[in-house]
Structure 1
């Protein structure tokens, strides 16, 4: 078992050239603190789309949970067409590091409202979600199954946040046999009126509001002793997923950065390095989280 963070970085740098670290000393300090705290003080907070799932497969961007939902045969082609157009309009705003946060938040709220209107009014049998999960939701990052199994065996709580569609997230995790008892999904879930889709249940969650303030007080109380956090995400907004946790001692943030456009990666890298402890460029594995976990449990 590897207990030396310096050894960890040596191993990772051998395997991956796209590892970017702004402050290696600070990263070593955090890892040492988390290791000393042990598994009893640790929780894992992770995004779903493009974090637990790969960012691309065979040259194609991986589908998001909403994209996979759009593949359901019960939905008309106009649903998917509208979803694609909305994504084209708003993803650029979400990903651009030069756009002010307030502008981004307003855009994400507008996207969620329009997306909800696009869902309403279709008769839908939710059993089809298992079929689309099997067909389109099999590409978890390499090593995700091993990581999730180890976290479950160590009884470490895992919060899976998603600004996507929770019903699809649930179906994909279940299909891949990683929906363990220690896993909780915080996301947008479909609302029904009889057999008809009627939008999203409760408060809608977008990339800048998916955080632990959405948890009920009882759940927060169960996590109050777990002051060390391993956070994983692919978006700058993912770094706020721990908002709502009081008195955090150590939080180690891993960012997955990928785009087909090298200029976007170059433009985004500084912003990612300012918010994440380690940035992995075009790394479609869970190698780093697994290395870290091996130092703790």
Structure 2
């Protein structure tokens, strides 16, 4: 049970792509951390062609409501390993990432900056848990002024050579179905929650529901799901996993209202 009267917000766990960021920007689909790279003029044409093929192959599997999570995982691992190997062939530099983000269409949901400011002022730890590319999403957070000291990012980070070019990825692969404590390892985020009682979790997929696995018990977890597409197909499964479902909502109004009530 969520404790309302006299409650506080001790922790926020949020997915990044299409959760903190908008699904639609000016009537078109917004860019994910992968999409920022896919659509950048700084990337070679062969990368875009191959990345689009992989997306068309594996995204339908990711959102297929008839497949179990266990059935999907091998496909997701293959997708991520394939795209990671493809990026490694493209001589991506540290400097180019900032330029990719600056020219992208990625935008935070309306009201996100204000909510993040309140969370920072109140010292609320925020975990941004992403199966995307950490180097890119960090630049997005910095671009919009929300990468504050209370924010911890756990994602897939590039490994660079001495010349500053990406040559692979660090650590174990994080995909959309293993976003939980096991993927954090050395992070002290969950340990900060031992004396607190409420968590707001936000995601846009069924895999995001698992992001709170590892939170010390007992805890009250309010799960907010952004249902961005395939609404009729995915509604039943979202209703089983989330407490609040927001359909085609490009704002952070609901979560922000809850934060302001408890802050």
RMSD: 1.6
TM-score by length of 2: 0.93
Segments ≥4 residues shifted beyond 4 Å = none
Matches within 5 A, 1:155-166: 155-166=123-134
The residue that corresponds to 1:15 in the other structure is none
Distance 1:145 1:287 in 2: 11
Q: 1:275 Cα deviation (Å)?
A: 0.3
SS in 2 for 1:205: coil
Change (3 A) 1:177 1:78: same
SS in 2 for 1:127: helix
- Does 2:235 match 1:287? no
Distance 2:72 2:5 in 1: 36
Alpha-carbon displacement from aligned partner over 1:13-68 (angstroms, at most 9, x marks no partner): xxxxxxxxxxxxxxxx42xx1543424xx200000000000011222111110110
Which structure has the bigger radius of gyration? 1
Which consecutive residues of structure 2, in runs of 5 or more, have no partner in the other structure? none
The residue that corresponds to 2:212 in the other structure is 242
Q: 1:287 Cα deviation (Å)?
A: 0.6
1:120 to 67, 84, 88: 88
1:89 to 46, 52, 57: 57
TM-score by length of 1: 0.83
Task: Write 1 or 2 for the structure with the bigger share of helix.
Answer: 1
Contact map agreement 1:67 1:80 (CA 8 A) in 2: no
Moved more, 214-223 or 141-150: 214-223
2:233 to 245, 261, 267: 267
Which consecutive residues of structure 1, in runs of 5 or more, have no partner in the other structure? 1-28
Contact map agreement 2:36 2:106 (CA 8 A) in 1: no
Distance 2:108 2:20 in 1: 6
